[in-house]
Structure 1
Amino acid sequence: MKTIVSKTIAFNGKFFGAGPTGVHRVAEQLVAATDGLITGQAGNGLDYAVVVRNGVEVPSYRNISCVRENPRVRKIHRIAWEQLYLPMARRKDFILNLCNLGPLFHRDSATMIHDAQVYSAPESYSLPFRLWYRFLFFFIGKRHKIIFTVSEFSKGELVRYGVANADKIVVVHNGCDHVLQVRPDEGKLAALRLKPRRYVLALANTQKHKNIGILIKAFASAELKDIELVLFGAATRGDFENLGHVVPLNVRFAGRITDPELVGLMVNAGALAFPSLTEGFGLPPLEAMALGCPVVAAPFGALPEVCGEAALYADPFSPDAWRQNILTALDDEAVRQSLISAGRRQADGFTWKRAARHLFETVNAASR
C-alpha cells in the first residue's frame, strides 16, 4: 500500500551558502545526522526536506530531499526570504530552524536558539544586531511550538530573559565526533614555524565575552616567553591593538583556516585555551578533547557542563591563573596524560547521532 505523506518536516536551509560559523556547523551536522536516522521510518506519515535558495550548494542526502525556491521568484534579501518567502512556500509544513532565527508568521515551527548572549553580553554585538535578535527571540519564543537549545545553561538563560517558558525548551547537546573524520593538515605548523606541544591554541575573536585579552596578558609573562599563543580566526594583530591590547611577539595569528588545518593544529598543540565569560555551549574545547588536546577553560557559562572534570579551569580575570594552568597542562606530564584520557572520555559522550535522535524524536512528536 502506498504511504500517504501528510506533512513535511522542512529544514530552514538559509545557512547553506552563508559564511562559516559555529552555528552553521551545528546545523549542517544535525541535518546530516538526521538524514542517517530517517532510514526505516517509512510509513510514519512524514516526509523530510531542506529548503534552500537557488544557486546554493547542498550536500547530497539519502533521505532528505532538497527543495529550491521557485525560480520565478525575484531574488530577495535573505531576511525577507526567511520571514516572507519560506513560510508562504512551506505553509503546510513543519519548519525546523537550526540557526537561532526563523519565520515569525509560521507557528508550526521549532527553532534552535543557541544562547542568550544578546542579553547577557550585549557589548559583543552592534545595537541593530541586538535589537533585531531580541525582537525575533521575543516572538519566536512565544509563537513556535518548540525552542531547542544546546545546554542546560542556555535553557536557564532563555528562561531568565523571558524568551520562553522552561516547559517549551528542549536541550540538545552538540556533537563533536565530526573532527575524528577529518584528516589533519599540518601545513600551518610549518608555515608558522611551530614546535609540537610548545604552543597553545585559542580563538582570534575580539568580542568582549570571548575574553582573549586575558590570554594576551598571560603570554606577556616571562614564564611563557618560549611558548607561543596561536590565535585562529578572522581577527588580526591590528584588531587587538586597536582595542588597546599590547600584543607580545609570541602571539601568532593563523588567520582563517580550514578544518584539516585546525585539526592539524589541535593534535599537535600543547593545549587549547578557552577563557570565555559566557558560552551557550563551547564546541572547540570538546573538539580538542576528542583529538587528545588538553583544555584550559574558564568556569563560566556552559563550559563546566560541557567540559566536566576533563579540563583545567582558570579564573578568567587572572593572567597569573592562566599562566600557571597553561604551564601545568604543557609540562606536568602526569596531569597532561590525565587531561588527555579524561578529555577523550568526555568527548565520547557528545555525538551528532545522539543529538539528532533527540531532535528527530521531539520534532516528530510535535509535528503530528
Structure 2
Amino acid sequence: MKSIASKTIAFNGKFFGAAPTGVHRVAEQLVAATDALIGAQVGDGANYAVIARDRVAIPPYRNILCVRENPWVRRMHRIAWEQFYLPLARRKDFILNLCNLGPLLHRDSATMIHDAQVYSAPESYSLPFRLWYRFQFFFIGRRHRIIFTVSEFSKRELVRYGVASANKIVVVHNGCDHVLQIRPDGRQLAVLSLKPRRYVLALANTQKHKNIGVLLKAFTGAELKDVELVLFGGATQADFQNLGYFVPPNVRFAGRISDPELVGLMISAGALAFPSVTEGFGLPPLEAMALGCPVVAAPFGALPEVCGGAALYADPFSPDAWRLNIITALDDETMRQCLISAGLQRAGDFTWKRAARRLCEAVKNANGEFA
C-alpha cells in the first residue's frame, strides 16, 4: 500500500467469514476488482484497506492492506462489531460498506443497498429481518454520504420507498466475467443423470418473489415431460412440498453446489429459467449468458435492464408461457443460436473492472479527489 495521503478508504470486511450469499460474492468481486484497478493506476491520493475481524480469512490483495482488528473484540457479535467497534476504530476513515448495511454512527460512509425488496416483497422475509433492515435503511439513507445500488430499477425503488434522494444514489452494475475464470466441473451431470441440453436450470429458493412455483407448474405439462428442471441452492423438495407446491417427477434438486459445479451445469444446460417478479439486479442470467447458456426470464424488476434483448421473456404468472419459451430455447435451433450470440455480447458489457471504476470515481468525487 502506498502511503500517499492520510485519507484511507476502509472497506467494511464484516462479510468475510460469513456464510456465502449473492451479496457477499458481489462484495468480494468489487474489492478484488478495486485492488486490480489501483495496481493499474499511478497513485490516486488515497490509501485503501480492508478492515476485518481477527482470525477471518481474507484473499491476498496486492494493493489493498488487510487490517485485522484487535483480538480482544473477536467474541463481539458481528452486528456489534459493525455498529460500534468499526466506526470508533476507523473514525478518521471513509468507510465503504458493500453488503446493504453499515455503521449508523459513521457519517463519512458509503453503503451499497442492493434492492428495496424488504418494502416491495415483504412476504419473502421474516418480520424481524424486515424491521431491522428498514430501520437501518432509514438512517443509512439519510446519514451516509453516498448510497450505491446495482441497477436503475433499484435506484427508482429506493427513491420510491423514501430510503434516499435520487441525487445521493449512484448505480454500479454488477460484473459477470468472474465465471470465465472458473474451471467447470461436470460431475453433477452424472450425479443427476442429466443429458446435455435436455435440462433447465433454476434457483432452489422458496421466497415468494423468486416465483419458482410457476416453473413447477410448467414442468407438469406433457410438453416438457422429457426435459428435467434442475434446481440448485438450499431449498429442498420437502421445503417446496411443505408450502403446498406439487413437485413433478422430472424435477431434480442439486442442493448447494460449488461454483465449478454450477458452471459445469450452466455450460451444458438447455436454458436458465429466472421467473422472479422483482429483482434488484439478477446476476445468474448474466452468468449463464457469459457461458453460452440461453436465458428465459420474467420481464420484471431489473431483469429487462440487465438482460436487454438477449433473453426470452415469459409472463411470470403463466405456466403455459414458460413451457412455450423453454421449448423454443431448447428446440428452435435458429432462436437458440441467436440467444447464445446476443447473450455473449450482452454479458461482455458487464465487467467487474467497469464496476470498480464507477465505484472508485464516486468515492473520489465525494472526498474531493483526496486533496
Report the TM-score, using the length of structure 1 for normalisation: 0.98
Query: Aligned partner of 2:227: which letter?
Result: I
Q: Report the CA distance between 1:45 and its aligned residue.
A: 3.1
Contact 2:277 2:300 survives alignment (8 Å): yes
Query: Aligned partner of 1:63: which letter?
Result: N
2:332 aligned with 1:325, yes or no? Answer: no
Q: Could you report, residue by residue, the CA deviation over 1:99-133 in whole angstroms, capped at 9, with x for unpaired residues? A: 00000000000000000000000000000000000
Residue aligning to 2:194 = 194
| 1-structure distance, mates of 2:79, 2:3 | 35
2:64 aligned with 1:71, yes or no? Answer: no
Residue aligning to 1:29 = 29
Q: Report the CA distance between 1:366 and its aligned residue.
A: 1.1
Query: Aligned partner of 1:343: which letter?
Result: G
| 2-structure distance, mates of 1:123, 1:338 | 37
Q: Report the CA distance between 1:74 and its aligned residue.
A: 5.4
Size of the aligned set, in residue pairs, is 367
Contact 2:278 2:301 survives alignment (8 Å): yes
Q: Report the CA distance between 1:364 and its aligned residue.
A: 1.7
Residue aligning to 1:294 = 294
Contact 2:3 2:47 survives alignment (8 Å): no
Residue aligning to 1:241 = 241
| 2-structure distance, mates of 1:351, 1:149 | 16
Contact 1:177 1:287 survives alignment (8 Å): yes
Contact 1:107 1:145 survives alignment (8 Å): yes
Q: Report the CA distance between 1:43 and its aligned residue.
A: 4.6
| 1-structure distance, mates of 2:149, 2:354 | 15
| 1-structure distance, mates of 2:30, 2:78 | 21
Q: Report the CA distance between 1:5 and its aligned residue.
A: 2.0
SS at match of 2:273: strand
| 1-structure distance, mates of 2:34, 2:74 | 31
Contact 1:3 1:43 survives alignment (8 Å): no
Query: Aligned partner of 1:62: which letter?
Result: R
In structure 2, relative to structure 1, the CA distance for the partners of 1:173 and 1:249 (3 Å cut) is same
Q: Report the CA distance between 1:69 and its aligned residue.
A: 1.2
Residue aligning to 2:127 = 127
Residue aligning to 1:138 = 138
Contact 2:289 2:346 survives alignment (8 Å): yes
Residue aligning to 1:17 = 17
Q: Could you report, residue by residue, the CA deviation over 1:139-185 in whole angstroms, capped at 9, with x for unpaired residues? A: 00000000000000000000000000000000000000000000100
Residue aligning to 1:354 = 354
Q: Report the CA distance between 1:278 and its aligned residue.
A: 0.2
Identity %: 81
| 1-structure distance, mates of 2:213, 2:41 | 50
Q: Could you report, residue by residue, the CA deviation over 1:33-75 in whole angstroms, capped at 9, with x for unpaired residues? A: 0001112555543100001111111000000000011123351
Contact 2:100 2:113 survives alignment (8 Å): yes
Residue aligning to 1:344 = 344
| 2-structure distance, mates of 1:182, 1:58 | 19
Residue aligning to 1:59 = 59
Residue aligning to 1:208 = 208
| 2-structure distance, mates of 1:340, 1:106 | 46
| 1-structure distance, mates of 2:353, 2:344 | 17
2:156 aligned with 1:156, yes or no? Answer: yes
Gaps of 5+ in 1: none
Residue aligning to 2:219 = 219
Gaps of 5+ in 2: none
Residue aligning to 2:105 = 105
| 2-structure distance, mates of 1:201, 1:25 | 20
Residue aligning to 2:279 = 279
| 2-structure distance, mates of 1:4, 1:347 | 36
Query: Aligned partner of 1:171: which letter?
Result: V
SS at match of 2:72: coil
Contact 2:34 2:357 survives alignment (8 Å): yes
Q: Report the CA distance between 1:193 and its aligned residue.
A: 0.5
Contact 2:4 2:47 survives alignment (8 Å): no
Query: Aligned partner of 2:175: which letter?
Result: G
Residue aligning to 1:87 = 87
Q: Report the CA distance between 1:191 and its aligned residue.
A: 0.4
2:260 aligned with 1:253, yes or no? Answer: no
SS at match of 2:252: strand
SS at match of 1:308: helix
Residue aligning to 1:262 = 262
Contact 1:172 1:358 survives alignment (8 Å): yes
Residue aligning to 1:170 = 170
Report the TM-score, using the length of structure 2 for normalisation: 0.97
Residue aligning to 1:96 = 96
SS at match of 1:201: strand
Q: Could you report, residue by residue, the CA deviation over 1:270-321 in whole angstroms, capped at 9, with x for unpaired residues? A: 0000000000000000000000000000000000000000000000000000
| 1-structure distance, mates of 2:348, 2:145 | 31
Residue aligning to 1:185 = 185
Q: Report the CA distance between 1:28 and its aligned residue.
A: 0.2
